[in-house]
Each structure stands twice: as C-alpha cells, then as structure tokens.
Copies of this chain bind each other. A is one copy, B any other.
Amino acid sequence: MNEPDFTAWSREVAGRMETTLANLLTPSRVAPARLHDAMRYSTLGGGKRVRAMLAFAAGEVSNADPERLQVAAAAVEIIHAYSLIHDDLPCMDDDVLRRGKPTCHVEFDEATALLAGDALQSLAFQLLAEYRLADDPREQLKMIELFARACGSRGMAGGQAIDLDAVGKSLTLPELEHMHILKTGALIRASVLFGAHCGNGLTPAQLEHLDRYGKFVGLAFQVVDDVLDEEGSSVTLGKTAGKDKEGGKPTYTSLMGLARAKQFAQELLADAHAELKGFEGRAARLGQLADFIVHRDR
C-alpha cells in the first residue's frame, strides 16, 4: 500500500471529522453547560476515527457526496463516543482511562456521563433525520432503521450485554465471535453501509460484498484489539492495558493463544480483501483501511 498517501488521507478525514463534530455538537456555553461540556469532552479530540474512515472509504465506492458522508460519519462517531462513555461506567467496565484522558465519569461525574451518553445517542438520530443523506427520503428512512438496529438490543447494546454476562465464564470461539459481531461489528458494518448508501448505483450484490467486508474488518479489529491488549502498555494504548484478561473476560488471545490470534487476524484481512475484488480501483481505500486496522499498533 501507498503509505504516505494513506496517511495523508486518514489525517484529512480525521481533521474533517473533528471540524464537523465540533460544529454539530452544541457549544459548551449553552445550558446545561456541564452536560454539553461532557458531550464535547468525550467526542472531540481523540480516537482513531476508524468508523468515519470506513464511511468515507465506502463512499468512494458509491461516489457519494462528501457533505453527506461527513454527517453520516459524524453520526457513527457520536454513537461510538456514547457507547464508550457508558461502557466505561463503574457498573460496566469501570475504567478510568480512555484515549489517554480520564474517562467521562471520572472527569465529570457518573450522572453527567450517563446523560451525556443518552443525549449523544439522541443527537446521532437527530442528525440522520435533519440532513439530507440520500436522494430518496425513503432510502434515508431505511438507513436510519438499519442504523438503529445496529445500535440496539440485537446490535451493539446486545453485544455489550453478552460481553458482561461472559465475565468469568468460558465462551466457545463461536460464542466469542457472535458477541463481537454484535458489540463492535454492528457499528463497523453500519459505517461501511452508511458510506455506501450515501451514494448511488450499487447493486444489492455489491452492497452484500461491502457488508461482508465490514463483517470481516469488524472481527479483525477486535482480534487485533485483544492482541494489542495482551502485548501493549497503557501508555501506547491510551487505555488501561491487560484490563480484559484481568477482568476474566474471554478474549481471542486467551482462547486461541497469541500466535494463532495474530494469524487469524491475517486470515480475516485476506477475507476482507477478497470481498473488494469486483470493485477494482474504487475500493482501494477500503483495502488500505483494512490493512491499517490489522497492522495498527494501538
């Protein structure tokens, strides 16, 4: 892959996301100020913006309008931010460090963190309904439905529930995979499909390939997360390292060993690339992004 080109592109997307999110989030001076502060604190100034990059890269396949893509990508990043705030709460993972900063409930307080997450979820749906994201408004309603399902009890929130229930238990590999397909995978797949739907002219078969790409990349993302959690330090990760193992959570590394987990990530990467074959040059960015997700070091 053309490293300098990809690095420049990913910086551009991250920069564009930061500006867009800063504009879409309510200013801190507006009451209730503490709530708006907490929402901005947890959404701005950090993160790899992988989900936004996936939406933008998928948008290249469908030739989507960048103005639409940035709203769709912002909605996904806002949902991601809300999920991290709630995931870090004492009754969930009870984590104090996120992206190298104190977590929301540590910086503010538990109640504010709870409400900031709640309000961020509402904001994401507000944006998806407020801005024009598709030529046909019926199509846009379908996108909102798809996204809401990805967030809900049979998507991200369901995955978190299964994850919590798994603490101290031994999951089988298929059970672990199912959990991650919901917990992280649902939003990653939705990011890819969002980007694709912001444009036009993709056939159902092509959308199916992109969805499978999203599924493989989502799983690879989680496998690599587990590998980094096993190998990394809190300094490079920006979050508490070794936390999952310590908390008795089943991980890919605990279930299949470090070496096999690394190999599995490579297999998923190959599967992801295979789904992109029919798109030729238009999917180059999605291919680079899959490489980035598997080869990242934090």
Contact = CB atoms under 8 A, between A and B. Distances in A.
Contacts of A138: 137
A137 B153 CA distance: 26
A37 to B, nearest CB: 11
A41 interface: no
Interface string A17-42: 00000000010001110111001000
B161 A115 contact: yes
A274 interface: no
Contact of A119 (B32, B110, B118, B158): B158
A168 to B, nearest CB: 14
Given A122-B148, A153-B39, A114 B92 contact: yes
Copies of chain A in the complex? 2
A16 interface: no
Given A31-B162, A141-B141, A114 B126 contact: no
A92 B118 contact: no
A49 interface: no
Interface of A: 26, 30-32, 34-36, 39, 86, 89, 91-92, 109-112, 114-115, 117-119, 121-123, 125-126, 128-130, 136-138, 140-142, 144-145, 148-149, 151-155, 157-158, 160-162, 164-165
Q: Which 3 A-B pairs have the closest CB atoms?
A: A126-B148, A91-B110, A122-B152
Given A92-B114, A121-B122, A130-B145, 9 more contacts: A31-B158, A35-B161, A86-B115, A119-B152, A122-B151, A122-B155, A123-B153, A126-B144, A126-B145
